[in-house]
Amino acid sequence: MQIGSCTDRSGDAMVDLHSTSSTPAQQPTARTELPSATDRGTDAPREWGLVGRYLPDPSLRYTKVAFAGPTFPRVVAMTLASFVAVAMVVVPLVQLAATRAPSWWTLAVVPGVALCLELWRPLRARWHELRHKLPFWWAIRTVDIGLERAVPQPGTLLRYEIHLTARRPIELQSLQVRLVFWEGWLARTRLRWLRIPYRTTEKIGHDLSRHQVHSLRVPKGEHAVVRGALPVPLGRPSEHHRGKTKHLSYLNVTVTLSTGRAGLETHRGNCPHLITFPWI
């Protein structure tokens, strides 16, 4: 048994899916012609819509994937560190203004100012990421990704299913399923003001193929299902950073949700899922 769907893509009307008997589609061979690189960004999934419940496909392996982004304890720890840095500046200055006599605490002003400047940009970025993550975590919490159990071969199609359950009503501007190629390496950098050297992980990625659904409204307790197949490249994508320290290449299937209304800020949430290819 497999779930069928009926969707009006020209508008926002969604028709409930129903259970229908069907045979699994035959997997294309390595000679299957794939869409050109310019067309992959506009491809639509095979079917999508709302269902009261869904029947898992036994040929797929399902995984619960959480939304990426900083954890709340980490953001709180960085916030407390910034408060300490501000206190290192404010307390000695207040004491100096009250007593009119310098003390050893006055020396804490210089590292306090430098620490405030160092923490300002990363703390602002973490709160920005957390603010974009919270609406999806509050309404959906996790996304179920179903991928083929067999290792995908170059030149074939990678079948997928995306299932999400709305714990609270949510209206999505778009839902994207992306096959992303990533490169990561270990870089050496310094703090902007304190000039203390440290190592950090840099990474850059680009989409190999992408499917997109527009205007998906999910009422409370309902399931949204997106089903399709992403084209797998025939060859290994070009690597532009090979040779750097601890260089690493990998792929993942990323589900990107966007929500928001016209004229308001758009929130984006990413659910990456690491996969293995023969040429990785």
- Categorize the per-residue pLDDT at 261 as very low, low, confident or very high, splitting at 50, 70 and 90: low
Distance of CA 230 to the CA centre of its chain: 18
pLDDT at 31 over 60: no
pLDDT at 81 over 50: yes
* CA atoms within 13 Å, Cβ hemisphere of 206: 7
pLDDT in tens, 157-184: 999 999 999 999 999 999 999 999 999 9
Greatest mean pLDDT among 13-17, 100-104, 229-233 lies in 229-233
pLDDT in tens, 223-234: 999 999 999 888
CB-based contact 231:174 (threshold 8 Å): no
- The amino acid at residue 207 is D
- Categorize the per-residue pLDDT at 15 as very low, low, confident or very high, splitting at 50, 70 and 90: very low
* Angstrom distance (rounded) from CA 242 to CA 249: 9
pLDDT at 265 over 80: no
Six token digits for residue 82: 């910034």
Mean pLDDT, the chain, integer: 81
Asked which of 6-20, 66-80, 205-219 is least confident by mean pLDDT, the reply is 6-20
pLDDT at residue 30, as a whole number: 33
pLDDT in tens, 44-68: 888 888 887 778 889 999 999 999 9
pLDDT at residue 162, as a whole number: 95
Residue 230 has a CB neighbour count (10 Å cut-off) of 22
pLDDT at 14 over 80: no
Q: What is the pTM of this model?
A: 0.74
pLDDT at 39 over 80: no
Q: With residue 218 as reference, give the H or E element that holds it.
A: strand 197-218
pLDDT at 96 over 50: yes
- Categorize the per-residue pLDDT at 280 as very low, low, confident or very high, splitting at 50, 70 and 90: low
Q: Which residue has the higher pLDDT, 126 or 11?
A: 126
- The amino acid at residue 246 is K
